[in-house]
Each structure stands twice: as structure tokens, then as C-alpha cells.
Amino acid sequence: MTTLRVAAPAVLTRGALLDDINPVSKIIAMVILSVPLIVTIDWVSAAVAIAIELVLLPLCGLALGALLRRAVPLAMFAPIAGISMLLYAEPEGRVHAQFLTATISDSSIQLAVAVTLRVFALGLPTILLFSRVDSTELADALAQVARLPARLVLGVVAGVRLLGLFIDDWRSMELARRARGVGDAAPIRRLFSMSFQLLVFAVRRGTKLATAMEARGFGAQSTRTWARPSSLSWRDAVFLLGCVAVMAAAIGGAVAAGTFRFVGS
């Protein structure tokens, strides 16, 4: 006699406060949180922004472990940007070391710390704001709130949904290489090889998807309707004001500490 076992229902993640925010508002928030950090260069403003964003992590509905995993690319790129600034920034103040064209001075150390922190300060909002954005909600917002062309919106939705397939492809390639006994050898060479294979998969899948969408009439110039309405509310206004307050606190902290400076100054 065979006993059938019914699988337990999946446990839904707890809703976050930012889930009610319109995706277009999140895009505007990215601009608010990024532009002040791009045009300025100091470590205090970046550190304050990172600290506030981490304090507000529970509002985003993202677990700390998930945040750390998704921040791995930032942790890989930030030291590279910082080291290049440390060695090749314009020397100013006391010179600590010099080798060929590389010079380490007080100014280059400060700039290296500022650039390293800025990579995290610019990358964290993207992770926090868009980790839980549904592709359909994004399409509705872009079409109805931002008034973008339907063809562009549908292309964005298709691209967002393909990202999950790329992650599955990467895992499948890792398992296949380990099954052949070459999974743990030469990690740098393996990274470039798998990246090229993933690029080939992306081009092939993108070409097929574009052809299929065109054949099904997604490229038509007729006016489209949308099943779910998307609009802005008072929550979006409060959210954007909060983003402005975060940047005001970051820049204000830099001014108070005397480290505030524009890029190139």
C-alpha cells in the first residue's frame, strides 16, 4: 500500500513596509540616494548613509544573510576601486610611500576610504529597494505612472524575468563541472569560462525570446490596456521625503565633520 504525503504549504515571507511603495517611487529614490554621493567625495557622508540604510533594513523585508550574499559583488569591487585611488590619486599632504608612478599620501588614503565606502553606499540601496519588486508590478508602474512605451515596458519585464534563469544556468554549470571533476580547479579561469558560457546562453535565449514576442504581437504599435491599476499614494510621498532626509543627514554629517568636498575640488 502506498501512502501519499501532502506537502506542507510554503511559508510566505512577512510583508515589508516598502512592498506598498510604487516601483517608480523606488526608482526616484535611487536617484535621490545616488546623485549626492556621486558628486561628492568624502568618507563621512558615505559612512552615515550606510549606517542609516542598515538601520532601516527591517523595513525592506530582506534578511541580513540575504543582504550579505547579495552584497558579495560590492565587496569584490569596492577594494579594487579603493586600491586604485590609494595608489594613483593626486598626492597631497604627507607622503607615506612611493613606488614608480604610485604614491601613497594622506589625501590618497582618505580618498581610498571614501571611494570604498561609496561603492557600498551606492550599491546597498539597489539591493534593499529592488530585492522584492515584482516584475509585473514594475511593468504596471512604468506603463501607467512613468508613461513609458508599452514595447519598452514589456522588454524590461522579459529581461527581469530572465535574470532568475541566468542564476539557475550558473548553478547548473557549476554542478556539471563538478560532476566532470573540474569544478574546484583554477577558480579564476573557471569564473571567466563560466561567464562566457552564460553570455552565450543569454544571447541565444534573448534572441529566441525576442522572436517569440514579436510573433505573438508584443511589438504592435496599438494602444495596450493593463489589468492592474498602478498609482502613487501618500506612502510614496512619505517614502521619498524619508530618502531626502537620509541624504540630508549624510551630507550634514560630512559638513559638520569638516570632510565635505565635491568631486574634483
For 19-68, how does the pLDDT look when each residue is reduced to its tens digit (9 = 90+)?
Answer: 889 999 999 999 999 999 999 888 899 999 999 999 988 888 888 888 88
Q: Residue 183's pLDDT is what?
A: 65
Q: Residue 34's pLDDT is what?
A: 92
Backbone dihedral angles phi then psi of residue 216, each to the nearest 5 degrees = -90, 10
For the chain, which residues score pLDDT lower than 50?
1-13
Q: Residue 256's pLDDT is what?
A: 92
Cell numbers representing residue 134 in the block: 515584482
User: CA 169: distance to chain centroid?
Assistant: 20
Q: Residue 206's pLDDT is what?
A: 83
Q: Residue 107's pLDDT is what?
A: 81
Number of CB atoms found within 10 A of residue 108's CB: 23
Number of CB atoms found within 10 A of residue 78's CB: 20
CA 15/CA 24 separation, integer angstroms: 19
User: Cell 549606517 belongs to which residue?
Assistant: 51
Q: Residue 9's pLDDT is what?
A: 38
